[in-house]
Amino acid sequence: MTITKAVIPVAGLGTRFLPATLAVSKVMIPIVDRPSIHYAIEELHQAGITEVIFIISPDQKSIKDYFQPRPDIETLLQNRGETELLKNIRSIQNLVSINFVTQKSPLGLGHAILQSKKLIGDQAFAVLLPDDLIFGNESTTSEMIKIFYQNPGIILAAKKVKDEMISKLGIIDPLNINGNQIHVKSVIEKPDLENAPSNIAIIGRYILPKEIFAKLESIQPGALGEIQLTDAIDSLMTELPCVAYQFTSDHFDIGTPVGLVKASVYQSLTREHMSEDVSSWIKTIPLLNED
Ligand code: G1P
């Protein structure tokens, strides 16, 4: 079975980015020159995904706009000879086919994923949370799909986190660790530090079998009173094996302003036409050099 579909939930309110998110969706805030969903689509495309389903809130129109052809702007760029910019704006439109499903009320990540049930149909699929930006030569989703083909079941991306992050994330109880792959015994959403089974957290990449939908339909609200994807995964683990993949690429939690700043600086340092300028400026920032 080939994995060709992916879900990107983007219906969150983005309260940590107020006041900007009064007018713009959190996932449209740029990291250098493109929003997080652009990087997400590139990662999925590299993994062989051909169809992406966005789960949006009722008022999230700007996301749809991002994928609309803009002949007016294209003509302008063409006339100005801006071929590089033209290539950039066209590239994202043709990478994958895009669908939108509206999540009418914010009832949790699990509830958001459940909204994709009809469009996913009878197959395994990928989930990418765009707040978790992962930069690397190899697409992390692609690496996880390869693991899925060897061990069909549930595949999660995972990373060791600091104690203060544990109560904010899904946490893994490992059965055994084999290199960068962990066989998972159970998962728990946002545990207190004292009850956490480890300091290994789920990061926003999942390969999920179709059986997840029946679990999402039957579970009760969990942490924060929401329908949690982690709870559905935990329940499915009694029927199917679960592997957590400790990826090695650089990860940024851009759900927080600090993470967004770090990701932007990192990304700018990978861009040929700006890396030198940014890196030499960083060394001279007056605030860093004050005693
Ligand atoms: C979600 C998941 C959580 C996971 C996290 C990764 O939490 O519920 O298990 O660890 O994404 O970013 P949220 O960030 O939506 O609270």
pLDDT digits (tens, 9 = 90+) for 192-225: 999 999 999 999 999 999 999 999 999 999 999 9
Q: Average pLDDT of the chain?
A: 94
Return the pLDDT at 291: 64
- For ligand 1, atom 9, name the residue with the nearest CA: 170
> 203 CA distance to ligand 1 centroid (A)?
7
Question: Is pLDDT at 176 greater than 90 in this prediction?
Answer: yes
Above 80 in pLDDT, residue 289?
no
Q: Ligand 1 centre from 291 Cα, in Å?
A: 39
Q: What is the pLDDT of residues 233-283, one digit of tens each?
A: 999 999 999 999 999 999 999 999 999 999 999 999 999 999 999 999 998
Structure tokens at 145: 């799909």
Query: Does residue 113 have its Cβ closer than 6 Å to ligand 1?
Result: no
Taking the C-alpha atoms of residue 265 and residue 82, their distance in angstroms, rounded to an integer, is 25
Domain boundaries, the chain: 5-274
**How far apart, in whole angstroms, are the C-alpha atoms of residue 291 and residue 284?**
14
Here the tokens at position 244 are 């957590």
Nearest to 111 by CA among 22, 39, 217: 217
Query: How far apart are the CA of 7 and the centre of ligand 1, in A?
Result: 15
Q: What is residue 17's predicted lDDT score, i.e. its pLDDT?
A: 93
- Does ligand 1 lie within 6 Å of residue 201's CB atom? yes
pLDDT in tens, 86-133: 988 888 878 899 999 999 999 999 999 999 999 999 999 999 999 999
Please tell me the CATH code under which domain 5-274 is placed. Answer: 3.90.550.10
Q: Is a pLDDT exceeding 90 seen at residue 167?
A: yes
Handedness of CA 129, 133, 139, 144 (dihedral sign): negative
- Indicate whether residue 143 lines ligand 1 (CB < 6 A): no
- The residue whose C-alpha atom lies closest to atom 11 belonging to ligand 1 is 204
CB 154 within 8 A of CB 233: yes
User: Does the C-beta of 226 come closer than 6 Å to ligand 1?
Assistant: no
d(CA 187, CA 108): 17
The alpha carbon of residue 190 and the mean position of all alpha carbons in its chain are separated, in whole angstroms, by 18
Share of the chain above pLDDT 70, in %: 100
Rounded (10°) CA dihedral 242, 248, 249, 255: 60
Atom of ligand 1 nearest to the CA of 170: 9
Is 238 within 8 Å of 118 (Cβ atoms)?
A: no
pLDDT band at 74 (very low <50, low <70, confident <90, very high): very high
- Tell me which residue has its CA closest to atom 1 in ligand 1: 169
